[in-house]
Each structure stands twice: as structure tokens, then as C-alpha cells.
């Protein structure tokens, strides 16, 4: 199967310190992948590096998207290619409304002028599905939003911008049961055969409505194990140490 995202031997870090130490990972079109790993193993760094955060320096390996090397592209260019990152802690940006940001982003990504009436109709319908009050469209982006509202706003953006690859960085963390439900329904609504998801989570509830194709276990900047959804169960019951032990023995 053709790979949507293909990462080979990626070495990246910040201020001369390597965080990702030769990591390889591939996501095929239409697939749902989950990344598990203990805190500090490099999961968020991986997503930031894929998105092109200028803070991180890539010193080795390659990142290809739809067969094209994107390592030298700027963040906005990667977004235009179809990458999307749902942030673990979304930024608060005063003075820019949710609607204004989304309209500008949609225009930038499609390269076409956004027609205001259908845009608003779509926005309103999606906000309803995500159980967001309509006035949030006019609020400044994430300013004064609760944790759950911020995450729902991320999913709103995901659905409005409709990327090819959705990277979700702990979109379910810090949410109550109902909010996780709403968010996971949103992700399920987004996902189809034409797009892919790469999900970081400590929680399995967000995955309930999705068919997980592959699980990667990331520890200390490397993928130490890969497998099917059964790995999630195993880690949930036995923890990461168990995997690490097995990994060390294997060496």
C-alpha cells in the first residue's frame, strides 16, 4: 500500500540535544495509528517535528508525505499539503475570532476565496455536532476557553480544514467522559478511507469509535515495538516497563 507518511531514521532535537534518535514510522492512506509511550519519550516532539516547528532541529533521516520529502518545507506549506496537528495545549490568541481564523486558514489551504454563506452554514452545523455554543465562533481563539472547549475547538478546525493526515496530540487528556465522547465522535466523523490519523493518547476511550490499524510504542526517542490494537491492552494491563524489558532482552 502506498504510504501517506513515511519517516525514516529521524534524528531531531532542540539546542543540540537529541530527542528523537533514529525513529522510523509509516502511516498508510486510510489508516489509524496510535503512538503510546511514557511521558518524556518524545511523542509530542515527533508531532511538532512532522509539522515543522522551527524550535526543533532535524539532524538526520527523512520525512516524506505522499512520497515527497517535506523536511525543508515551512509549517504553513506542510499544512497546505494536508497535515494537521491538534495541539495538546492550544495557544490562546487574543483579538482573532475562531471564525476569522478558520476562514483565513481555509482560504489559505484551498487557495480559493471562501464563500461566506456556505462557510457559516458548515461552521454552525459542526459546532452544533460538537456541542459548542454558536457564540464561540465570535470569541477570541481559545481565550478563556476551558480545557474541554479548547479541544473541541481543535476538532472543529480538523473538520473544517479536512486535512489528509490528522495528528492528535493527547486530544483526550484532561477531558471528562462526555467531552471525550464528543471529541471521539468528531474524530470518527472526520476519518474515512481517504485520510489517516496518528493519535497520541494515554486513554483508550478516544479510540472506541475508530478501527486502529497499528500501534507504535515510543520510548526514549525510538519506536521500540509495533503491533496491532492488542498492544494497547497489553500496555494498559502491564505498563511500559514490561515492553522495555522485552526490548532490552531482544537486544
Across the strands, what pairs with 20?
Answer: 12
Looking at beta carbons only, is 142 or 225 nearer to another protein? Answer: 142
Q: Which residue has the cell 527523512?
A: 62
- Tell me the closest approach of the beta carbon of residue 151 to another protein, in angstroms: 14
CA distance 191 to 193: 7
- Give me the least distance between CB of 85 and another protein, in Å please: 5
**Residue the block writes with cell 504510504:** 3
> Residue 149 or residue 222: which is nearer to another protein going by CB?
149
Residue 51 CB, shortest distance to another protein, in Å, is 5
Q: Which of 7, 98, 161, 199 binds another protein (CB under 8 A)?
A: 161
* Helix residue spans in 85-175 (DSSP H): 98-110, 116-129, 147-161
Q: Which CB sits closer to another protein, 158 or 231? A: 158
Query: In the chain, which ranges are continuous DSSP H helix?
Result: 43-51, 75-81, 98-110, 116-129, 147-161, 177-190, 230-250
Binding mask 36-75 for another protein (x = CB under 8 A): ---------------x-xxx------------------xx
Burial annotation 49-60 (CB, 10 A radius, 16+ → b, else e): bbbbeeebebee
Under the binding rule (CB under 8 A), the answer on residue 101 touching another protein is yes
The closest of 129, 142, 235, 127 to 188, measured between CA atoms, is 129
Select from 3-11, 92-100, 169-177, 236-244 the region that touches another protein (CB under 8 A).
92-100
Q: Which of 246, 222, 182, 235 is nearest to 46 (CA)?
A: 222
Q: Is 17 in the site for another protein (CB under 8 A)?
A: no
What would the x/- binding string for another protein be over residues 170 to 209, using CB under 8 A?
----------------------------------------
Torsion of CA 83, 176, 139, 88, to 10 degrees: -30
Specify the residue, 88 or 184, whose C-beta has the smaller distance to another protein. Answer: 88
45, 56 Cβ separation under 8 angstroms:
yes
Chain-centroid distance of CA 221 in Å reads 18
Q: Is 15 in the site for another protein (CB under 8 A)?
A: no
Which residues between 130 and 159 bind another protein (CB under 8 A)? 140, 157
Residues in contact with another protein by CB under 8 A are 51, 53-55, 74-76, 78-80, 84-85, 87, 90-91, 93-96, 101, 104-105, 108-109, 140, 157, 161
Amino acid at each position: 500500500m502506498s504510504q501517506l507518511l513515511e519517516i525514516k531514521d529521524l534524528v531531531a532535537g532542540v539546542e543540540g540535544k537529541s530527542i528523537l534518535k533514529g525513529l522510523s514510522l509509516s502511516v498508510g492512506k486510510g489508516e489509524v495509528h496510535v503512538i503510546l509511550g511514557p511521558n518524556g519519550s518524545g511523542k509530542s516532539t515527533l508531532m511538532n517535528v512532522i509539522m515543522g516547528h522551527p524550535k526543533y532541529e532535524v539532524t538526520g533521516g527523512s520525512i516524506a508525505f505522499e512520497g515527497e520529502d517535506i523536511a525543508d518545507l515551512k509549517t504553513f506549506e506542510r499544512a497546505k499539503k494536508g497535515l494537521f496537528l491538534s495541539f495538546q495545549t492550544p495557544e490562546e490568541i487574543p483579538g482573532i475570532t475562531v471564525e476569522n481564523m478558520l476562514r483565513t486558514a481555509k482560504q489559505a489551504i484551498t487557495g480559493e476565496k471562501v464563500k461566506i454563506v456556505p462557510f457559516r452554514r458548515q461552521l454552525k452545523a459542526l459546532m452544533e455536532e460538537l456541542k459548542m455554543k454558536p457564540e464561540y465562533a465570535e470569541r477570541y481563539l481559545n481565550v478563556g476557553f476551558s480545557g474541554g472547549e479548547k479541544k473541541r475547538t481543535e476538532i472543529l478546525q480538523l473538520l473544517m480544514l479536512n486535512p489528509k493526515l490528522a495528528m492528535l496530540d493527547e486530544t483526550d487528556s484532561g477531558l471528562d467522559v462526555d467531552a471525550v465522547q464528543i471529541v471521539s465522535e468528531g474524530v470518527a466523523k472526520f476519518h474515512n478511507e481517504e485520510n489517516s490519523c496518528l493519535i497520541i493518547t494515554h486513554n483508550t476511550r478516544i479510540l472506541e469509535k475508530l478501527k486502529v490499524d497499528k500501534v507504535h510504542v515510543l520510548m526514549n526517542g525510538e519506536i521500540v515495538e509495533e503491533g496491532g490494537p492488542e498492544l494497547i491492552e497489553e500496555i494498559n494491563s502491564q505498563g511500559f516497563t514490561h515492553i522495555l524489558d522485552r526490548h532490552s532482552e531482544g537486544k
